Structure formats: C-alpha cells, structure tokens
Amino acid sequence: MLRRPTPRTVRRLALASIVANSAIVVTGGAVRLTASGLGCPTWPRCTTTTYTPTPEYAVHGVIEFGNRLLTFALTAVVLACLVAVWRQRPVRPGMRLLASLVFVGIPAQALLGGVTVLTGLNPWSVMAHFLLSMVLIALAVGLHRRAREGDLPARPLVGEPVRRLAVGVLVLVAATLVAGTVVTGSGPHSGDPAAGRTGLDPELVSRLHGNLVVLLIGLTVALYICLRRGGAPSSAVRATGVLLGVELAQGALGVGQYVTDLPVLLVGLHLLGACLVQIAAVQAVLALRDRGPAAQLRTVPTDDQTAIPARVASAAASGPP
C-alpha cells in the first residue's frame, strides 16, 4: 500500500532541489567556459537533423548535450519534490505554492535556454538564463525552510529596523548578482568565439560590481553586529555569520580571478560561490522569524479513508511561547 511521504522525505527532496538547481548553474557555466555554448547549434534538437551531437561538433557538442541531459535529472528531482509536497497530509501552508513555482521554473528555463541558443548566445539572454536559476534556488531554499519548521503564524525574532536591514542585504545580493552577470556578458568566456558581447566597458562594469560587493559585505557586517548586540537567537546570528563568510570567500575569488586574467577554474568556482551566496542570504533572512517547531506526523496508507495523519506535537495548539 502506498503511504504518505514523511516530513523527512519532503525535507530531503527539498534539499535535493536546492542542490540540483545549483548543479545546473555550475554545469551551464562549464559549457560557457569551454566555449561549448553552440556545440549543439539549434534547439530543441542538437543539430537540424538529430537530437544527439554529431562528430562535426566534437567535444563541444558532447558537453552542451550533456548539460541538456542534466535538465531531465533536475526535472525528475523537482517533480518528485512537487508530488511529495502535494501528497503530504495535513496540507502545509505555502509549501504547495513554493514547490509548484520551482517546478514551473524548469520548463521556463528550458525555453529560455532554447532562446539563448537560437539567438547565438545573446549575452542578455544568457544573463536572464542565469538569473532565473538564482530565483529558483531562492524558492527552493524557502521550500526547504518551510519543510523544517512549524505552521504557526510567523513571529519576528528581531525588531523592525533589523528586519529591514536584512531585507536590504537580500536586495543588495540580488543587485550584486545582476551586476556580476553584466560583467560576464561584457568580458571573455562568451561560450563561443562568435558570440556577441554587451558592448559595455568590462573594466567599468567590473569596478561597479566590485563596489557593490564591498557595500554588501559592509551591510552584512552591520547586520551581524546588530544581531549579536541585540540578543537575537543564536540560529539567526549563525545564519548571518555563514552569509558573511561565504561573501568574503566569494569576494576573494572575485579578486583572484580579476588579477589572474579570469582563469577558467576560478571563474567556475565563482559561479558556485554565487549559488552559495544566494542560498546563505535567503536562509539568513528566513532565520529572523519563527513558526514554531516542525510537527510530527503519523503517516497512514493513502487508501485508508477514515484515518488522517494526525499531529502529535502540541506546539500548534499551545501557540507561540
């Protein structure tokens, strides 16, 4: 008999969704860094006559085709998570919406990837392709957080000024990611020698991106100090500390790749770092509110119409402390 997915299963699938969405960003970066962006010169087929790469495009075709195949693995993970969330009982507020948005984002990414190929790796399309992945990662992080917490009304753990500061950090993370994509679209590693560039001055946009990184780190330090001195829960302080550490490491990578003329390995690590910054930033903001402990569920067979998964935790009944 089929059984309802357990809370642990849902949490694990939500975590897998974060990992899979981040992995597709890194592998997509590998396509660009190896100049394999047009290894499959058309879409949805690889060539005009076949769905698989041909010897004409050699290794570049294999790399690009391999990245397309990984989309199917990503879809399987996200679909499994969506099904688990929709089958979970009792229904968890907000989780179905988050899981659905992450799932809908996958075909949207595939279509945008097709547009990118068909436009000869237009840099603005490549930028949109990356930024959509960042949105999906943020949604997946939110879903994982909801799977680990209770269903009480959200209770802020810090004052309004600190919450606004945290939102400001998240907005600045978004601005920094956008600026980083502009730097990428203006410099080398375009994905193919024939691909166009934005036409913007790489030096100028790199300086702008660097200034935003410095501002982001400064704002994160301010948030960390406010949390420490304001008596915020250790979990919130720790989440912000992790964000600060990831930002510093990412900043060091950025400086390193800049002064060494953008070696492929460092650029690839910088892409991974962008995913980690996004994950840590969303987690830091969500750590500033509490919805009670995750309730324990008793899972029953799906064909038992008289038994309903019951909460045995009393947190929801007793209300916030």
In single-letter form, the type of residue at position 250 comes to: Q
Pairing state between β 289-290 and 155-156: antiparallel
46 shares its domain with 125: yes
Is residue 319 domain-resident? no
167 shares its domain with 260: yes
Segment 19-72, tens digit of pLDDT: 999 999 998 888 888 878 788 888 888 887 788 877 767 788 888 888 888 889
What share of the chain in percent tops pLDDT 90?
Answer: 48
Is residue 310 domain-resident? no
Segment 93-151, tens digit of pLDDT: 888 999 999 999 999 988 988 898 888 888 898 899 999 999 999 999 999 999 988 88
Residue 190, C-beta contacts closer than 8 angstroms, at least 6 positions apart: 32, 35, 37, 121, 123, 196, 197
Q: Taking Cα atoms as reference points, which of 250, 260, 241, 267 lies closest to residue 212?
A: 250
13 shares its domain with 29: yes
182 shares its domain with 218: yes
147 shares its domain with 159: no
Is residue 241 domain-resident? yes
Is residue 312 domain-resident? no
pTM of the predicted model as reported, rounded to 2 decimal places = 0.87
Q: How many structural domains compose the chain?
A: 2
84 shares its domain with 129: yes
233 shares its domain with 166: yes
177 shares its domain with 144: no
Q: Taking Cα atoms as reference points, which of 25, 228, 294, 231 lies closest to residue 133?
A: 25
Segment 279-321, tens digit of pLDDT: 999 999 999 998 888 765 444 444 433 333 334 333 444 444 3
Residue 155 has phi, psi (to 5 degrees) of: -115, 115
Paired tokens of 157: 């753990």
203 shares its domain with 231: yes
Is residue 249 domain-resident? yes
143 shares its domain with 247: no
146 shares its domain with 184: no
| Helix, strand, coil distribution of the chain in percent, nearest 5 | 70, 5, 30
What's the mean pLDDT when you consider all of the chain? Answer: 85
141 shares its domain with 180: no
Domain that residue 210 falls in: 155-290
Is residue 306 domain-resident? no
